[in-house]
Amino acid sequence: MRIGVLCSGGDSPGMNAAIRGAVLRGVEVHGFEMVGFMDGWRGFHEDDRVPLDRAAVRGISPLGGVILGTSRVQPFLSGRGDEADIQAIRDRVEEYGVDAFLLIGGNGTQTVAQLLTEHGIPAIGLPKTIDNDLSGTDYTFGFDTAVSIASEAIDRLRTTGDSHRRCMVLEVMGRDVGWIALHAGMAGGAQVTLVPEFPESIEQISEWVLSVRDRGRSSLVVVAEGFRLAGNEAQTTRDGLDGFGRKRLGGVAEVLAPLIEQRTGIETRATVLGHVQRGGSPTAFDRVLATRTGIAAADAAEAGQWGTMAGLRGDRIAMVPLAEAVGHLKTVPEARYEEARLNFG
C-alpha cells in the first residue's frame, strides 16, 4: 500500500515525531511505501513529493517545525469542496498511485479527512494543534510545548513586573479557545486568566488587579488572543490589517493594558508572545504523544480503519470516528475556569 502523508495548518511541536512514528511502523512493520507531500496541499497540487523511509526520519523527533513543511493552502481548488473538487483530488491520487492518506492537522484538516473518506479516498487523521481545541482527543501534541513556553514567559514577566510594581499582561495564542492561557496561567500562578469562553468586564478585571495591589503584590494577567471584553466587544479588538494587508490576529493585550492602567492607575505593560510559543523543540511529553499517534495511525491504516483519528483517551491512543471529532471545538469547561479563578484577585 502506498500512503501519502501531508501536514496542514499552523505547525505544532511534535509533528516530526508523529511522522517518524508513522513511518517506522508503516514502512518497517507493515511494509507500506510512504511519501510525503511538501508544504501541505501545495505539494499535492504541484506534485512535490519526497519518499519517507527510515533514513528520512532519522533523528527528527527533537526537531521543532516539520520536515515536510506545512501551509494553509486549501485542498479544494474552488474552495467549495464540491464533486468537481473531489474529482480533481481523485485524479491526482490515481496519478500518484496513492492508496490512502495520513493527514496531520487541526479541525479543518480532520474535516477534510472525513470528507475524502466519505468520497472513497481513504484517510486517517493525526490531530495536532497547539491550541488543544480538537474534540475527540484529550490532548493534542504541541500543546504541552506551547504551555511550557508560555509558563516560562509568565515566570520571567513576573520578576520584572514585581521589581517595577507593574501589572504585566501576557497574550498567548488561542484564537477560539483558552486552553493555553488556562494551563500557563495556572502553572505560573496568574492573578487573572482571560479566555474566549468566559468574557469578563474591564471593571471586574480592574477590581482583581487592585485587590492584588492591596495585598502588596503586582498582577500578572494572561489573556488568550481570542478573548473579548464582556459587553464591549469592539473595544477589545485591535481592528484593522497588518503591514501585509492581512486581517490582524491577536493584539488584545495591547488593548487591555491601557484600559487596566486607566482604571487602576497602576502602570501596565503588554507582551504578545506570538509565534515563539509554536517554535523550537517539542517537550518530551509531546514527542511521546506524537510518536504514539503516528504508530497508531499506521496500525489503523493496516487495519483499514479509514475515517478515524488517532486521539488520546486517558493513557490510550484510540481510533475515534472523525465524525465525533470534527464540527465542534473542545472548549474550556466552566469547572476548569472555576479552578483557575481561585487565584484571581
Site for ligand F6P in 23-62 (CB under 6 A): none
- For the bound state, the minimum distance from the C-beta of residue 100 to ligand F6P, rounded and expressed in Å, comes to 26
- Could you tell me if 26 and 38 are in contact, meaning their C-beta atoms sit under 8 angstroms apart? no
131 binds ligand F6P (CB under 6 A): yes
Rounded distance between C-alpha atoms, residue 202 and residue 83, angstroms: 49
User: With CB under 6 A as the contact rule, which of the stretches 80-88, 129-137, 159-167, 189-197 interacts with ligand F6P?
Assistant: 129-137
323 near 135, Cβ under 8 Å?
no
Angle between helices 179-188 and 334-341 (to 10 degrees): 30
CB-based contact 159:220 (threshold 8 Å): no
In whole angstroms, the minimum distance from the beta carbon of 133 to ligand F6P comes to: 8
- Label residue 183 exposed, middle or buried (CB < 10 Å: 0-12, 13-18, 19+): buried
- Residue 1 exposed, middle or buried by CB count within 10 Å (0-12, 13-18, 19+): middle
CA distance 106 to 127: 6
Piece of the chain touching ligand F6P by CB under 6 A; list 58-66, 127-135, 206-214, 304-312: 127-135
Q: Which residues contact 57 (CB under 8 A, 6 or more apart)?
A: 16, 19, 20, 23, 24, 67
The residue of the chain with the least Cβ separation from ligand F6P equals 173
Tell whether residue 238 is a contact of ligand F6P (CB under 6 A).
no
Q: Quick check: 228 binds ligand F6P (CB under 6 A)?
A: no
195 binds ligand F6P (CB under 6 A): no
Note whether 70 binds ligand F6P by CB under 6 A. no
> How far, in Å, CA of 119 to CA of 297, rounded?
20
**C-alpha of 317 from chain center:** 18
- Residue 83, all three cell numbers: 464533486
Annotated binding site for substrate: 129-131, 166, 173-175, 225, 269, 275-278
Q: State the binding string over 241-280 for ligand F6P (x if CB under 6 A, else -).
A: --------x----------------------------x--
The reply to whether 77 sits near ligand F6P by the rule CB under 6 A is: no
Could you tell me the CA-to-CA distances from 70 to 61, 66, 170 in Å, in that order? 17, 7, 27
- Binding-site residues for Mg(2+) sit at 107
Residue set of the binding site for ATP: 10, 72-73, 106-109
Of 11, 131, 133, 144, the catalytic one is 131
Q: How distant, in Å, are the alpha carbons of 151, 182, 244, 278 from that of 129? A: 18, 16, 25, 9
Residues 182/185/191/197 CA torsion (nearest 10 deg): -20
Q: How far apart are CA 99 and CA 283, in angstroms?
A: 33
Query: Taking CB under 6 A as the criterion, which residues in 294-313 touch ligand F6P?
Result: none
User: Which residues carry a binding-site annotation?
Assistant: 10, 72-73, 106-109, 129-131, 166, 173-175, 225, 269, 275-278
With binding defined as CB under 6 A, does residue 173 bind ligand F6P? yes
**Interface with ligand F6P includes 196 (CB under 6 A)?**
no
Active site residue 48: no
Query: Which residues share a beta bridge with 38?
Result: none
Residue 174 Cβ vs ligand F6P, minimum distance, rounded to whole Å = 5
Q: Which is nearer to ligand F6P, 175 or 269 (CB)?
A: 175
- Closest to ligand F6P by CB, 104 or 130: 130
Of residues 74 and 129, the one with the C-beta less far from ligand F6P: 129
**Amino acid of residue 53:** D
Of positions 4, 10, 21, 185, contacts ligand F6P by CB under 6 A: 10
Q: Catalytic residue positions?
A: 131
- The binding site for ligand F6P (CB under 6 A) comprises 10, 106, 129-131, 173-175, 225, 249, 278
